[in-house]
């Protein structure tokens, strides 16, 4: 019964539903953008929602089973985190600040008793009847490491799997494609919260009494996700590299948590180190991407592939975004007309000569939908809507 009440409380969390709405809006805006560029969407399915639900369930179950019976967090942290989470989801739509929100909430909570600038916030809690609790500061560091690790897994599994282009102008004012990763999930983390204030203010909540103190069992919504634009690199490869760096950062966090168990004064600096390390990884990835000499720009000697629809002949061929199709069925192509004229020379089969992003030539071929060469599934600059 107590667990069911905790589930019901989680279902009432505004952050959860705002996250659902934001995921849906990301999907609808992507569809509108793709249709505006190509007159038809590259990915019709709601993969953002699929990832939201699947990863949320996986993270929620694993984190709650492994750590849910051991970690307790303060009510102060919960209020600060939920407040920052709502602000980031509603007022800052151009960012997904999953790690930042968790890090700032931990820093503010750890600094409440010791930093004079945070005394007004501490007095505000006291005015609500919420007194400082004796939750181990180490728990906040462990929770922060779990959130960093979950972000690494989320990025490793989903980053760069769906290459949806956005068109921009480069420094030479030429059209070029960039690829944005913009996904999130919110997972339920089963945690104990000291509930003396909850006992008096919300008596219907499930509570446990330990040594004359009450603890509430709550499913806390935790945000995971990232918004990142790839301009020159192979998106999947770049996100894999980023996730490996975040995995390493999570490993460093585990070492810092072990050290913090023996030296509690290390906990606050450890949170700062991990937060700065996370943004260092993002900054290095952005720098690495900008240093690439390649661009997903238009070409004069072929047609650039900037999108590939799933479950089409193109998806079965050895094509990648960034490839340049030089010949179709032995005929040189340079624009939309020549591309489809060459496809029409064989109504059931096509053969491409392609130059990849490393200037290596390759041949690829596939059967096509009978009498429907326009459904090959390749999206190029020649197919832009006007």
Please spell the DSSP secondary structure of 304-334, one letter per residue: EEEEE-TTSHHHHSS--TT-EEEEETTEE--
pLDDT at 248: 98
pLDDT at 70: 79
With H, G, I as helix, E, B as strand and everything else as coil, classify residue 105.
helix
pLDDT at 169: 86
pLDDT at 211: 63
**CB-CB contact of 238 with 288 (8 Å):** yes
pLDDT at 361: 95
Nearest to 51 by CA among 160, 149, 185, 182: 185
pLDDT at 99: 96
Nearest to 99 by CA among 59, 143, 62: 143
pLDDT at 232: 95
Q: What is the pTM of this model?
A: 0.90
CA angle 129, 215, 123 (to 5 degrees): 20
**CB-CB contact of 225 with 56 (8 Å):** no
Q: Which two tokens stand for residue 189?
A: 């983390």
Please list the ranges in the chain whose pLDDT falls under 70: 1-8, 69, 112-134, 195-215, 369-374, 383-386
């Amino acid at each position: 019964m107590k667990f069911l009440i905790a589930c019901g409380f989680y279902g009432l969390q505004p952050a959860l539903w705002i996250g659902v709405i934001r995921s849906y809006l990301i999907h609808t805006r992507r569809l509108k953008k793709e249709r505006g560029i190509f007159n038809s969407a590259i990915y019709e399915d709601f993969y953002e929602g699929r990832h939201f639900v699947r990863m949320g369930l996986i993270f929620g179950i694993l984190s709650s089973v492994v750590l849910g019976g051991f970690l307790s967090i303060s009510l102060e942290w919960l209020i600060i985190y939920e407040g920052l989470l709502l602000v980031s989801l509603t007022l800052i739509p151009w960012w997904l600040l999953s790690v930042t929100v968790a890090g700032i909430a931990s820093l503010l909570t750890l600094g409440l008793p010791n930093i004079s600038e945070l005394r007004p916030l501490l007095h505000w809690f006291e005015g609500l009847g919420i007194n400082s609790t004796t939750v181990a500061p180490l728990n906040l560091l462990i929770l922060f490491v779990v959130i960093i690790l979950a972000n690494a897994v989320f990025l490793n599994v989903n980053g760069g799997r769906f290459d949806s282009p956005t068109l921009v102008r480069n420094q030479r004012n030429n059209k070029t494609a960039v690829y944005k990763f913009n996904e999130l999930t919110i997972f339920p983390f089963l945690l104990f919260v000291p509930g003396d204030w909850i006992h008096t203010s919300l008596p219907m909540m499930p509570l446990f009494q330990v040594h004359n103190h009450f603890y509430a069992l709550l499913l806390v919504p935790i945000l995971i996700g990232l918004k990142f634009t790839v301009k020159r690199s192979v998106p999947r490869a770049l996100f894999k590299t980023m996730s490996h760096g975040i995995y390493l950062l999570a490993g460093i966090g585990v070492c810092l948590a072990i050290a913090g168990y023996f030296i509690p004064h290390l906990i606050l600096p450890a949170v700062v180190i991990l937060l700065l390390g996370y943004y260092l990884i993002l900054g290095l990835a952005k720098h690495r991407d900008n240093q690439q000499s390649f661009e997903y720009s238009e070409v004069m000697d072929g047609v650039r592939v900037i999108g590939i629809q799933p479950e089409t002949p193109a998806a079965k061929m050895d094509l990648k975004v960034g490839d340049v199709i030089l010949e179709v069925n032995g005929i040189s192509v340079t624009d939309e007309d020549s591309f489809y004229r060459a496809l029409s020379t064989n109504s059931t089969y096509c053969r491409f000569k392609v130059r990849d992003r490393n200037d290596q030539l390759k041949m690829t071929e596939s059967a096509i939908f009978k009498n429907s060469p326009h459904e090959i599934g390749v999206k190029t600059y020649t197919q832009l809507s006007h």
